[in-house]
Structure 1
Amino acid sequence: MFEDIPVDVSPMYEGERIRAANMFVELAGPKSIGAELVQVKEDVEDGKIEVVGPNIDEMKEGKIYPFGILVEIKGEKLEKELEGVIERKMHELCNYVKGFMHLNQRDQIWCRISKETKEAGFKLEDLGKALSALYKEEFPIIESMSIRILTEKSEVESFIETARSQYEQRDARSRELSEEDVDVFYGCVMCQSFAPTHVCVVTPDRTALCGAINWFDCRAAAKMDPDGPIFEIEKGAVIDDVKGEYENVNAAVAEKSQGTFDRVYLHSVFGHPHTSCGCFEAVAFYIPELDGIGIVDRDFKGETPLGIPFSAMAGQCSGGKQIEGFAGLSLEYMRSPKFLQADGGYERIIWLPKDIKSSLEGFIPEDLMDKIPTDEDANSIKEIRKFLQDAEHPIMERLKETESDKAESPEIEEEGEEMEKVGMEGVPVAPVAQVPELTVPTSGGVRIIFKNAKIYAEKVIIKKK
């Protein structure tokens, strides 16, 4: 099937990582632009593969290039609803090509080509040939397919505008339903090659973490391939409709995560938050000093109020882990009326990048729009607190209520040696934790767990004797 492609094409290469030292070029990614799009069309020239812009042999080693992939498909049984699912499959199929790494989705793709693959004579037409053959094998209902690969900046820029328009049309349709309107949710394990214990639960109110698959997409995919990576979950008994906990969802997560997790809250970052893969568009993270929640997306290049960038935060909670106080999510989920409803929704959000905030105009309650600071307003805990006070953010009332009933300092039980001195000085007295259970990861094999605690701190010092 792949005799005319100069490198191997096989599922065995899925999950391959191409590090900078072994990279010939990078395509799209955080330092450039790119997108991928699948569209069902009435007229498709089967087998057509077109490259617009520099090909691999015309690129310079170590450079970064814009990148776009447009796949047009035709088939009697193809439905418009399948576009998102077939498009999401591109992540998996591209990674079958030895020496070609594909990460993320939609307009956030990030690809690399290895030096070895370039030396083998691999060109972008070969990527098109591999995708065409793999797609038709994976989806027999595809009768005709053409692929257009773009590396010319102006062409990619124009393509991204078209792609984003299509993404928005898909997302808007998913907002027509809520969880109460349906009897079936969906699970997706497409990312388990990178995150073995991750199970993505998709409901009308909660799109997949990647942002590329909504409830309608899943319905079409499960109908087309009942034994595929997207499967039905009967909603069943509701355990907690605010947190978003369902008996059958818990059972499905337990089964598909190989028993690693058996509970999940769909609408909270506390207790049992949704597992995170690595393809998520953004991360919600707890800011204990202010008892609020921040949001950061992968396009944000600076540091968060926790003092770390998106990449470090993503590394902590990705890979299929369930980390309390952190949750990967899609940007579309932030438009849902159930967005983190168990935690207070937007009344609990106290920081996010300006670009995200601007994109959510009309979804953030009008009375809160000017009360949530962005990276242009505040970045340190002190700056955020002042902004929240001046703007009269609802979180300040929450803090006042807890401050008026200060708990005694919690007793710290130590095991083994104490750690080296770490200080946090100059931080105003405030309740820095108010959660049922919060695990604080540390080094040296020590784990600190706070249960049902309200903690007030002016200074924290941990010493090693």
Structure 2
Amino acid sequence: MFGDIPVEISPMYEGERIRAANMFVELGGPKSIGAELVLVSESVEDGKITVVGPEIKDMEEGKIYPLGILLEVSGKQLEKDLEGVIERRIHEICNYVQGFMHLNQRDKIWCRVSKDSHKKGFGLNHLGKAISIMFKDEFPIIEEIAVTIMTEEEKVKEFVEKAKLEYEKRDSKARDLSEEDVDSFYGCVMCQSFAPTHVCVITPDRPALCGGINWFDCRAAAKIDPEGPIFEIPKGELLDSVTGEYTSLNNTVAENSQHTFNKVYLHSIFGHPHTSCGCFEAVAFYMPELDGIGVVHRDFKGDTPLGIPFSAMAGQCSGGKQVEGFSGLCVEYMRSPKFLKADGGYERIVWLPKEIKEKILENIPKELHEKIATEEDVSSIHHLKKFLSEKNHPVIKRISELESTEKEPETVFEEEKESNSEMVQFAQVPEMAIPTSGGIKIILKNAKIYAEKVIITKK
């Protein structure tokens, strides 16, 4: 089946990582542009593979090139609603190719070709053929498929803009639907080759972290591929309407995370936040100095007010971890009325990159438009606190209330009265991240925390 492809094609390569030292070229990614798109068409020239722009053999080692991947598919049973589902599987299937690494999705794709695969004569035409064969094998309803791979910069630019329009059409379809309107949610474990304990929960109000799959996409995927990585989750009993906790979701997360986690809150980054994979579009992070929340997306190149960039944030919570105070999410979720509902929603958001703020401005309450800072307004926690105070952001009231409680009379545990020198254990946590600056990450695992004094103050 893959006889004339010079590298092996197998699921065993799905978790393969190509580091810079072993990389021949990089395609797309944060330093270039790229996108992938699936379109259902009435007529497709089956098996046609087209490469527009430089082939791998014509590229210079160590360089970065743009990348566009277009799949045109047809079949009697194919529907427009299946485009997003098939598209998201590009990630999985590309990673079956030895020496080819595919990360992320949509217009955020980031790929690398290894030096070994280049030496074997691997080219983009081989990638196209592998995609063509495997998609027809994975989805029998695909009767014809044509693959176009672009590396010519101008062509890729045009393609990216076209792809973004298609993404917007898909996303807007789900915006009028809410969790109360449906009887089931969906789970996705497609990223478990990279994040073994990650379970993505998709509801009408919370699309997949990657931003590539919404509730409608999942419904279609579960129907055409019942044994696939996307599956239905009965809604179950609602335990907390604010945090978004359901019995069925708790059970699903426990079962599919090898019982690493047994509880998940859909709409909070505290307590039991949603697990994070590595393909997420953005990270929500807590700033304890302000009791506020910031969000930073993958394309943001600078540092957050904490003094660390997106990459450090991503490292803090990716890999399928559930880290309180950090949570991966997609930008589309920020348009939902339930966006971090348990944490105060936009009244708790104090900082956003300008690009994201402008993109979702109509979803932010008008009275908060000028009160949420961007990188153009502040560059540190100190400046951010001053900005929020000047703009009278709602979080300032929270800060004032917290500061006022510190001045109230203290109520002390009996242990302290009996012996001020005795150390008392007051907390035991499975994992806790400590926000830091300078690119340093501190995580306490299975920590027992002791204190000479334990003081409770009335709020």
Common fold, TM-score beyond 0.5? yes
**Cα displacement (A) at 1:363:** 0.6
Distance 1:341 1:217 in 2: 24
Q: 2:439: which partner in 1?
A: none
For the residues of structure 2 that align with 1:369 and 1:105, how far apart are their CA atoms? 30
Q: Distance in 2 between matches of 1:193 and 1:414?
A: 47
Shift of 1:132: 0.4
Letter in 2 for 1:199: V
Given that 1:438 and 1:449 are in contact with CA atoms closer than 8 Å, whether structure 2 keeps it comes out as no
Partner of 2:188: 188
Using the TM superposition, give the Cα deviation of residue 439 of structure 1 relative to its aligned residue in structure 2, in angstroms.
2.9
Q: Does 1:439 align with 2:437?
A: no
What are the superposed Cα offsets for residues 64-107 of structure 1, whole Å, 9 maximum, x if unpaired?
Answer: 00000000000111111111111010001101111000000000
Aligned partner of 2:123 in structure 1 is: 123
**Distance (Å, rounded) in 2 between the aligned partners of 1:104 and 1:130:** 19
Correspondences of 1:118-267 after superposition (within 5 Å) = 118-267=118-267
Structure 2 CA distance for aligned equivalents of residues 300 and 74 of structure 1: 37
Separation in 1 of the partners of 2:411 and 2:324?
Answer: 22
How far, CA to CA, are the matches of 1:379 and 1:346 in structure 2?
Answer: 20
> Do residues 50 (structure 1) and 43 (structure 2) align?
no
Q: What is the letter of the counterpart of residue 227 of structure 1?
A: E
Q: Does the 8 Å contact 1:439/1:449 carry over to 2?
A: no
**1:226-258 deviation digits (Å, cap 9, x = unpaired):** 121111111111000110000111111111111
Contact 1:439 / 1:448 at 8 angstroms: preserved in 2? no
Cα distance, 1:307 vs. partner? 1.8
Alignment check: 8 A CA contact 1:346 1:364 kept:
yes
Give the 3 Å change call, closer, same or farther, for CA 134–348 of structure 1 in structure 2. same
Alpha-carbon offset, residue 379 of structure 1 = 2.0
Task: Quote the residue 2:426 is aligned against.
Answer: none
Distance 1:437 1:260, change over 3 A: closer
- How far did 1:38 drift? 0.5
* Deviation string, structure 1 residues 12-49 (Cα, Å, up to 9, x no partner): 11111111111110000000000000111111111111
Cα pair 2:430 2:447 within 8 Å, conserved = no
What TM-score comes out, normalization by structure 1 length? 0.90
Per-residue CA deviations over 1:258-311 (Å, capped at 9, x if unaligned) read 111110000000000000000000000000000000100110111112221111
> Is the contact between residue 68 and residue 151 of structure 1 (CA under 8 Å) also seen in structure 2?
yes
* Helix, strand or coil at the partner of 2:361: coil
d(CA) in 2 for partners of 1:312, 1:247 = 33
Q: Deviations over 1:92-131 (max 9, x none)?
A: 1101111000000000000000111111111110000000
Normalised to the residue count of structure 2, the TM-score between the two structures is 0.91
Which runs of 5 or more structure 2 residues have no equivalent in the other structure? Answer: 424-428, 435-441
Deviates more, 1:402-411 or 1:310-319: 402-411
Aligned partner of 2:330 in structure 1 is 330
Moved more, 225-234 or 209-218: 225-234
5 Å matches for 1:19-168?
19-168=19-168
8 Å contact from structure 1 (residues 325, 438) kept in 2: no
One-letter amino acid of the structure 2 residue matched with residue 439 of structure 1 = M
- Answer whether contact 2:433 2:444 (CA < 8 A) is retained: no
Mapping for residues 227-376 of structure 1, pairs under 5 Å:
227-376=227-376
Aligned partners of 2:430 and 2:445 also within 8 Å: no
State the distance in 1 between where 2:138 and 2:186 align.
Answer: 20
Compare 263-272 and 221-230 and name the one that shifted more: 221-230
1:381–1:454 CA distance, 2 compared to 1 (3 A): farther
Separation in structure 1 between the aligned mates of residue 219 and residue 447 of structure 2, nearest angstrom: 41
1 CA distance for matches of 2:65 and 2:367?
42
- Report the equivalent of 2:384: 384
Report the equivalent of 1:423: none
Q: How many residues align?
A: 437
**Aligned residue type for 2:99:** G
- Residue 426 of structure 1 corresponds to none
Separation (CA, whole Å) in 2 of partners of 1:64 and 1:104: 17
d(CA) in 2 for partners of 1:439, 1:414: 25
